[in-house]
Amino acid sequence: MSNPSDAGEINRQTSEWKGKYQAARKRDALFTTISGIPLEPLYTPLELYDTDYILDMGMPGEYPYLRGIHPTGHRGRLWTMRMFAGYGTAEETNARFKYLLGQGETGLSIAFDMPTLMGYDHDDSLAAGEFGKCGVAVSSLADMEVLLDGLPIEQITTSMTINGPAAIIWAMFIAAAEKRGVSMDKLGGTLQNDILKEYTAQNEYLFPIEPSMRLVTDTIEFATKHMPRWNPVSISGYHIREAGSTAAQELAFTLANGFAYVDEALARGLDIDDFAPRLSFFFNIHDDFFEEIAKFRAARRIWAREMKERYGAKNERSLWLRTHAQTAGVSLTAQQPENNIARVTIQALAAVLGGVQSLHTNSMDEVHALPSEKAALIALRTQQIIAHESGLADVVDALGGSYYLESLTNELESQAYDYFKEIKEQGGVTEAIKRGFFQREIADAAYRYQRELEQDQRIKVGLNGYAEDKGLAIPILKMDAEGERLHLKRLSRVRSERDNARVSETLEELKRAALGTENLMPYILAAVREYATLGETTNALRETFGEAEVLNIA
């Protein structure tokens, strides 16, 4: 981008400066990004010498969307402040949501407990000891009705972090809204529903990969036809990063998964411009400030280019990579938990400068337990201070053109394309996952980072640097044992008061449909409207699809 006549002089001055730099005293530190990208001590206009501004960067809101998908950025509209919440009973989580909305939250994000995530009713022996510990317990439509009671679901968007049984929980949400007089076409929100990253990182999968992909495609098709304001899948790099990946791996594997869902939807006969505008993403924000910003920028450019050039999308919205982001849970420390407030603040700054559409900020106490009310409020206030006091939202893409940032963006993009090539050589995403390729790459990266910590090559304040021998001095949220009793009582009442013959009929109809090729969402909806439980509906599919096998990645 610089004048060619300037290049020689810039080179001369850079060489002269490097001589002074080499002669000066430097810190004894590991000068790489967290992901291991070596860092030069200085970046100059020569980093952008071969960059075509119009083709490679462009204006905000214009192809290739490197600088953001909207021309006004956050100056036109602030990001959605969507705090991930859920614990114990539906009543307790409902109260937490009302509290957060009252404090200025602008979107709902529902966390579910482990039995719900794995498709079990809470009176199942396999659910013992896990009630409400990592999210809200939902066993039937009755729980969903309580969970949503009094919440303005027709006015704000709702995100649900659920994957294996996502279609069933989504059906319960739709049915609960219908009972309140809100038709499904009026509902806005996001279903995480990314089963590929479950096989890659989080391991909360229920069925073999092929029927699991069918269910995801069913939800994409159903939303395309009936729910124009809903994102049926949130393609998630968050858990890939939490498992220990590098930023480049998170970028590459997440986008590769996204392309796999696109391929499945196209094979179903859907038009790219009918469904692609409603695909959304979910990324992690780790500690390395500039690397995280670069990751978001590279993701937008790659997605736009591939949607346009590989898939032939014509609708501008099909090219947009819309993303939610969450600060890195894995970066938090149990030691000196107040330090986590600073970590989360830096990560949130990176998300905002990276141009995300919605954001969750982790609470300082999440290493110890689900967030206390005080800790959740501090995390929300962190976003509000950034939005209204920092000035970050006043300029569109404030860091665009930074020699370092643009160089890092290009490097991450290059590494992502290297991974795309390798994934293709392995036969595509599902084959690469079955062979354990994604998993081994992540495990190797996690090992490298852990070794750097253990060898003090990287300092984690309070952990391997500036440590203190002090007890915990913050309030911790504890589960109320009475809550589980109340939940199980409601589950028992549902089973005794519903039309059990009709429930059996709908579950048999679901099993018959699962043997064929029909979209299963209408059958799942029919079952949950009759108050078929989560476990009963999941088991109907287990009987048809079989259980998922544990992948061998050795």
CB atoms within 10 A of CB 542: 15
* Dihedral over Cα of 158, 162, 164, 168: its sign: negative
Q: Are 163 and 201 in contact (CB under 8 A)?
A: no
Q: What is residue 478's predicted lDDT score, i.e. its pLDDT?
A: 74
| Both tokens assigned to 399 | 């860091």
Query: φ and ψ at 161, to 5 degrees?
Result: -90, 90
Q: What is residue 553's predicted lDDT score, i.e. its pLDDT?
A: 58
Query: φ and ψ at 387, to 5 degrees?
Result: -65, -40
Side by side, the strands of the sheet bearing 280-285 are: 230-231, 189-191, 158-161, 107-111, 80-85, 358-360, 323-327, 280-285, 234-236
Q: Are 27 and 402 in contact (CB under 8 A)?
A: no
Given phi > 0 = left and psi -120 to 50 = alpha, else beta, which region is 52?
A: beta
Nearest to 382 by CA among 58, 98, 79, 19: 79
What are the residue ranges in the chain where pLDDT is below 70?
1-5, 550-554
Given phi > 0 = left and psi -120 to 50 = alpha, else beta, which region is 122?
A: alpha
Q: Which residues make beta-bridge pairs with 360?
A: 326
Query: What is the C-alpha to C-alpha distance for residues 294 and 317, in angstroms, rounded to an integer?
Result: 22
| Residue with token string 């393609």 | 235
What is the DSSP code string of 402-441? Answer: -HHHHHHHHHHHHHHHHHHHHHHHTTSHHHHHHTTHHHHH
Nearest to 546 by CA among 282, 223, 212, 266: 212
Query: What is the C-alpha to C-alpha distance for residues 365 and 375, in angstroms, rounded to an integer?
Result: 7
Read off the amino acid at residue 245: S
Query: φ and ψ at 470, to 5 degrees?
Result: -130, 155
Cα separation values, 163 from 137, 174, 277, 301, 353, Å: 15, 16, 21, 27, 29
Query: What is the C-alpha to C-alpha distance for residues 191 and 163, in angstroms, rounded to an integer?
Result: 8
Query: What is the C-alpha to C-alpha distance for residues 507 and 524, in angstroms, rounded to an integer?
Result: 8
Q: Are 82 and 362 in contact (CB under 8 A)?
A: no
| Both tokens assigned to 223 | 């939303």
Q: What is residue 471's predicted lDDT score, i.e. its pLDDT?
A: 76
Interior CA angle at 452 toward 448 and 458, to 5°?
Answer: 135
Q: Are 351 and 399 in contact (CB under 8 A)?
A: no
**Close Cβ partners of 359 (under 8 Å, ≥ 6 residues apart):** 79, 80, 81, 82, 324, 325, 326, 348, 351, 352, 383
Q: Are 538 and 206 in contact (CB under 8 A)?
A: yes
Query: What is the C-alpha to C-alpha distance for residues 173 and 187, in angstroms, rounded to an integer?
Result: 10
Q: What is residue 224's predicted lDDT score, i.e. its pLDDT?
A: 98
Element containing residue 389 per DSSP (H, E): helix 373-389
Q: What is residue 480's predicted lDDT score, i.e. its pLDDT?
A: 77
Q: Are 477 and 372 in contact (CB under 8 A)?
A: yes
What's the first-to-final CA gap in the chain, in angstroms?
47
Nearest to 89 by CA among 535, 371, 485, 375: 485
Query: What is the C-alpha to C-alpha distance for residues 157 and 228, in angstroms, rounded to an integer?
Result: 13
Q: Are 193 and 226 in contact (CB under 8 A)?
A: no
Query: What is the C-alpha to C-alpha distance for residues 283 and 361, in angstroms, rounded to an integer?
Result: 12
| Both tokens assigned to 379 | 């995390």
